[in-house]
Chain A
Amino acid sequence: MAECHPVGFQWVMEAKARGAKIIHVDPRFTRTSALADIHVPLRAGTDIAFLGGIINYVLSHDKYFREYVVAYTNAGTILTEEYRDTEDLEGVFSGLDVDERTYDFHTWQYEGMEVQAASGHRDLEYQDKAGGKNGKPGSRHLRQSGRGEAHGSGGVAITGTPQVDPTLQHPRCVFQVLKRHYARYTPEMVSDICGVPVDTFRQICELLADNSGRERTSAFVYSVGWTQHTVGVQYIRTAAVLQQLLGNIGRPGGGIMALRGHASIQGSTDIPTLFNLLPGYIPMPHAHSNEDLDAFIEAESPKKGYWAEMRAYTVSLLKSWWGPAATPDNDFCFDYLPRLTGSHSTYETVMAQLAGDCKGYFLMGENPAVGSANAKMQRLGMANLEWLVVRDFSLIESATWWKDGPEIESGELKPEDIGTEVFFLPAAAHTEKDGSFTNTQRMLQWHHQAVEPGGDARSDLWFTFHLGRIIREKLASSTDEMDRPILDLTWDYPTKASIAEPEAEAVLAEINGWDSEGAPLTSYEQLNDDGSTACGCWIYCGVYTNGVNQAARRKPAMLQDWVAKEWGWAWPANRRILYNRASADPDGKPWSERKALVWWDADKAKWTGHDTPDFSAAKSPHYRPPTGATGAEALSGVDPFVMQADGKSWLFVPAGLTDGPLPAHYEPQESPVTNLLYRQQRNPVRQITAMVHPNDRFEPSGAEPGADVFPYVCSTYRIAEHHTAGGMTRFQPYLAELAPEFFCEVSPELAAERGLEHAGWATIITARAAIEARVMVTERITPLTVQGKRIHHVGLPYHWGHSGLATGDPANELTHLSLDPNVHIQEVKVLACDIQPGRRPRGRARDALVEQYQRRAGITEQTGTEV
């Protein structure tokens, strides 16, 4: 965190000054470790084993917060008899379809309930057609098209009433399943897998458990490194299971903080740049499977909880986009929405480029030629486009690969043979435009323009608005039905200054929404499904209450209470802690005075407290829903998790995940060791994007012959000096000089083993590529003992490329396209590699070196692709 989020780290330091214990778990000793109380290095890719071990400790030592767990989680919920755990099936869950490489999750359900499958009713005939075209099995193609993120603001659809055993004794209740599932995650097992000494592990277990309960809470903070695995979503899930058991959700000082790669990634998920979501986590409709609005709502929304109002959110969104053109008669222009035909994640887009299906590409503040996994595949994809638009501050590698990229240097590509027309448009920086950032706690903070952008630089808002304006002008006389969605858009933002910059606040007002009179809305509870309200993102409704930009509020902390509700604005409804009903006990009293946040005021018959209660204000803790109730009314007074259809937080996930209802440790795609926990080596349903592509070969793992050719664990990461793929930093002299060259970090022990010289050069090789780096021999990296073997890490900051002032090989030449199946994120935090002293070969000899390694390891197109 101190490396990648130094400004946010001030709060960790403040907590430390007040007595908080800081535990840092990371393979490398970083700036964060330097200030932590305990640093625990573990083998990259083993976090589920580590956290699973803590879960086992908490369960087997009765350290869980029993009252919280019984009342607020699905611990007592009884599962169907059909469910089979990894315990029963040697490391896989019931429903695995080996041919399709997917799970059918219908056996993961609650007893007596119908769980709305997250990827829903699909048109099989259509799937076969669409899938066949790309040579992929149809249902897998659609299954992977992504529903994992579709519930970022809540749960998936389930109907019925679950059977609950409040004693947690029923052998099929979630609690007992959980207990059995994690029983094998013993301290000795954790030590053997992670390389963490048993004593250290026990100490962490005790610290965490002792600092959780009525009086105390513990928070988890992770950066995206936790997600970048073939089991990335399950990493976070393991932390969620643990935090639920310890009663650390919905309470002050608890939670799981996602520190993401850029300033407003949370914002770009809420109002998404993702292919499978509409604003406010409304799922993107699938082609053919959601014929009209009613069918879409029926298929995608639950009957209970706040998601039951999805029709109001969706209609208000459609009204916001298409205004007067959206009427009840035309389904509010629901047919104007694009439809998904499968997964269109960034990596599938690369495959579509290589296949010639994707012909144009916008890169706005993104540098995939350096920053995305298997950078070569990214460049080859871009070389197969008709046009490419790059908007950035500098001429990043993604704008210049066609004339000076590695393939040009090696002679593999020639500029004159590349047909891609490349447009470069300079972008304005955040200081040169108005706008908002949404941080990890869902808080929007407005930033005001400080200076006009220089030269031709323009904001993304300017570019998008004027691009739309010009396209609409060009289509103005069109009578083609296909052009109606563009022509009917409300696209009338006021502009200012000589460059005609759209007013960002006008966009915020539209996102907030208005009623039929045009008056700003104050709460998403005002949204209607009859077209009388418009709202660009239902969860942001209220950010422009009374026509005032609430995100721009900057009342200093010393002038308000500790919750500081008048600094910025947090969705939903300016709540600072989500699901904060859980900060009070079932009767509505705070679990402890020390940790009081919201509570039930019996005299006034309403919820009150420091924060905005995340609960129906007048719903008594003793309210129980009548039979047949729907929506929010169907949740009882002890159901804090109001976005979930059952009002409970989920230790066990009956639907919504593609790779298992409980996290299980699998070895990464590439690992020098075998999985000690299960016979199943890797996540069976990991997404292998580029099946049998010659530029994306995998390495053998564990006991497979040839695995010893790549004996070291390699991890890519960031350092404080640079930002992600370097577009914002490597071109800035003051930042470039701080870390001017690509380097690798190795322990003195590995340096001795391989003859690496400090400040000299090394070549790092995987089955994809060979790169060179300056060598940093440092005691901050230590060898770990795993299964009796000494395991070395090779650390690779991934910021560099061939352009700019600070240069070097991109670490992403080494990485591959085996992805997490839920959210299609790349596994770049752990690979297996070799390292040798000296610089890499040039030109074709570089490829020859990689081919030689592939031959030595016996790598074929099948290697590492089995289920």
Chain B
Amino acid sequence: MAPVDVEIGRRPDVNTDPATQGGYSDHPPRMGFFTDTSVCIGCKACEVACKEWNAIPEDGLVFTGMSMDNSQGLGASTWRHVAFIEQRKPIAAQDPGVPHDGDTDFRWLMASDVCKHCTHAACLDVCPTGSLFRTEFGTVVVQEDICNGCGYCIPACPYGVIDQRKGDGRAWKCTLCYDRLSVGQEPACAKSCPTNSIQFGPLDELRERADARLARLHDAGVSDARLYGRDPDDGVGGDGAFFLLLDEPEVYGLPPDPVVTTRDLPSMWKHVAAAAVTLVGGALAAFAAGRRI
């Protein structure tokens, strides 16, 4: 039973292109991020460039002990976040040289996380004010001057990305630098990334590039490499910002099988409607029956 307004299980075409669906008749190609974590060096330039460009406040001077990660995760005031994962696992033919108790395997994974700009964005679906909207680039943006802080979008996000800022109340997240895109500039994070771990461009091109990169890594023996959010058939219709990971998504704090949380809303409303109809029908029947009596 397919929901009426959320189309899952179909490749994106004119009918599923988010910008087209958003009502843009003439629009640029869908733009997005491909974050190739296999070349991330964890410099955090993306975190800093994002904060600098978007004037996001500092959000905590806390030594966490979580490897080199002190910003802990995406939130209202962290729109790019670099995860650091120290693992006793090998990475292809790399010789890490740091044995412990006879175990020679070791690798240090780094990955820059960001809002996924889902094809089917639940945050957008639930926003009652229209603060969250789909741009002509197919990205999802929250407008700070319209958001009323209701917070519906926060539990709606299957990735836990969008977040309410304390002392402010409004919801904040990555805009994929809508202001920069509008004048032909790439987002600040991609611009600052020294190793091209964060690549910005038309999503179709990025997907091709990602497929080629994945094949090359597999050839090089990096059998753990996989794409995440690349597949238009997944639970959110594919991500506008997708990733090349070197381990299971959970290792990076990503849900293994995200599903747009509003997927079942139409059917829920149908059930509600059916229930209402039943109730009303029952009541009418009762009245009708009463008259008969």
Contacts and interface: CB of A to CB of B under 8 A. Distances in A.
Interface of A: 2, 6-7, 9-10, 13, 29, 31-41, 200, 719-721, 733-741, 743, 747-749, 758-759, 774-776, 778-782, 805-806
A39 B91 CA distance: 13
A779 B61 contact: no
5 contacts: A6-B43, A9-B194, A13-B196, A29-B108, A741-B61
B42 interface: yes
A740 B65 CA distance: 11
Interface of B: 39, 41-45, 47-48, 51-52, 57-65, 67-68, 70-71, 86, 88, 93-100, 106-110, 194-196
B52 A734 contact: yes
A759 B194 contact: no
Contacts of B59: 737
B70 to A, nearest CB: 6
A552 to B, nearest CB: 21
A90 B51 CA distance: 59
A741 B60 CA distance: 12
Given A36-B94, A41-B98, A776-B65, A738 B106 contact: no
B185 to A, nearest CB: 15
Nearest to B91: A34
Contacts of A775: 65
Nearest to B57: A733
B65 A733 contact: no
Contact of B196 (A10, A38, A759, A780): A10
A39 B98 contact: yes
B98 A29 contact: yes
A737 B60 contact: yes
Contacts of B99: 782
A743 B41 contact: no
Contact of B96 (A10, A33, A806): A33
- Which of B41, B44, B67, B86 has the most CB atoms of chain A within a 10 A radius of its CB? B41
A2 B47 CA distance: 16
A734 B49 CA distance: 9
A2 B41 contact: yes
Main secondary structure of the interface of B (DSSP, over half): loop
Given A37-B94, A720-B43, A740-B63, 8 more contacts: A2-B41, A10-B194, A31-B108, A39-B94, A738-B47, A776-B65, A779-B86, A782-B99
B63 A780 contact: no
Counting from the closest, the 4 A-B pairs by CB-CB distance are A759-B65, A733-B58, A740-B61, A6-B43
Given A37-B94, A738-B48, A779 B41 contact: no
Contacts of B43: 2, 6, 31, 720
Contacts of A35: 39, 41
B15 to A, nearest CB: 38
Contacts of A37: 93-95
Contact of A6 (B45, B65, B107): B45
B63 A743 contact: yes
Nearest to B65: A759
A785 B57 CA distance: 47
Given A40-B97, A738-B70, A780-B98, A774 B63 contact: yes
**Most central of A721, A734, A739, A806 by chain B CB within 10 Å:** A734
Contacts of B109: 34
Nearest to A776: B65
B61 A734 contact: no
B98 A34 contact: no
A779 B98 contact: yes
Contacts of A31: 41-43, 108, 110
Given A6-B41, A806-B61, A737 B71 contact: yes
B269 to A, nearest CB: 43
Nearest to A6: B43
B41 A34 contact: yes
B70 A720 contact: no
Nearest to B109: A34
Contacts of A759: 63-65
A719 B110 contact: no
B108 A33 contact: yes
Contacts of A740: 61-63, 70
A779 B88 contact: yes
Nearest to B99: A782
B60 A719 contact: no
A663 to B, nearest CB: 24
B194 A41 contact: no
Contact of A720 (B44, B64, B97, B106): B44
Given A737-B59, A738-B44, A6 B67 contact: no
B194 A7 contact: yes
Given A9-B195, A35-B39, A743-B63, A734 B93 contact: no
